[in-house]
Structure formats: structure tokens, C-alpha cells
Amino acid sequence: MPLSGRSGHLAQNFYEGLYILDSNKFARDPDGVVRQITDVLTEYGAEILVSRIWEERRLAYPIKKQRRGTYWLIYFKCESTKMEEIRRRLQLAPDILRFMHIKIDPRIIDVLVEHARGGQVAVRTVSEADLGVDEEIDDEADVEEMEDADVVDE
């Protein structure tokens, strides 16, 4: 059954969470560091759809005196009323350097989750007819040449 099907819950939304984790602590205890996030999410009733590492990289600037971060990606479903409480709890987690949550359109959640799981995603091409383009496109558009007098040097 597709994930985007509606259930009887009030205001259930899909979210993408991207977390920058302390790379040193993640290297020592990856499960423990990730558990800090998943425990908070599940405590507030979130259903985790996918949880996986994205990459480890050098940060553009130090965050909490760290120069490297491990990026962790989670797609989850949660009541919108719980998101503020989740945000407050995650801000207190010592191993999370930064995070952001983005509300995802339910029409595309299946594709995003499948891609995050590493599966093949079917891509549908869109034709001009699908876009409602009725006119034929002229590949050789008339281009006026600029005269030297039109160029202003400052």
C-alpha cells in the first residue's frame, strides 16, 4: 500500500529530517547517536519510514567547535501538533549539531522513501501535451543584434 494513503489520524504529515551529527561521537557509537533522534521521534508518535546515513563531510564553518559532521536523513510521518515539541527536545540532544525538518507533499513521499532506501525509482517523462502546450515551439527565434552604439562602458 502506498505511504501517501490517508489514515484516521488527525493532521498526519510527512516530513524529511536532516541532522548533522558529531562525527567523533558517531564514529564511537553510531547506534547510540542515531537513537537519540529516533527515540524522540517515536516518543511523540512519529512513524519512521526510512532512517539512513547520507554522508560525512567537512563543515563550511565550525558548529559547536566541530569541523566535520555526519549527515543523517530520516523520513517520518507525524502529527503536525507534535513538531514543536520534537524540535525543542532535539535542540537539547548533545550529539546533534544542527537539524532541519521539511514538510513533504504526500504525492511525492513514496518516490522519496524508495530513493532513500536505495531502490529504483520510475521516472515518468512529461510531454508537451501533459503540460498543455498547444503552440509549436520555434527553435530558431529571431535575435536582434546589438549595435555598438547600444553598449555603454562605465
76-99: pLDDT as tens digits: 999 999 999 999 999 999 999 999
- The answer to the question of residue 6 being in a domain is no
| pLDDT above 50 for 50 | yes
Neighbour tally for 98: CB within 10 Å = 15
Percentage of the chain lying above the pLDDT 70 cut? 70
Report, as an integer, the average pLDDT of 102-108.
95
| Residue 20 near residue 98 (C-beta atoms within 8 A) | yes
- The answer to the question of residue 25 being in a domain is yes
| pLDDT above 90 for 6 | no
What CATH number does the domain containing 62 carry?
Answer: 3.30.70.60
Residue-range definition of the domain harbouring residue 44: 12-128
Question: What is the distance between the alpha carbons of residues 82 and 69, in angstroms, rounded to a whole number?
Answer: 27
- The answer to the question of residue 85 being in a domain is yes
| pLDDT above 70 for 149 | no
| pLDDT above 90 for 45 | yes
- The answer to the question of residue 96 being in a domain is yes
Report, as an integer, the average pLDDT of 6-23.
84
Report, as an integer, the average pLDDT of 54-61.
96
- The answer to the question of residue 154 being in a domain is no
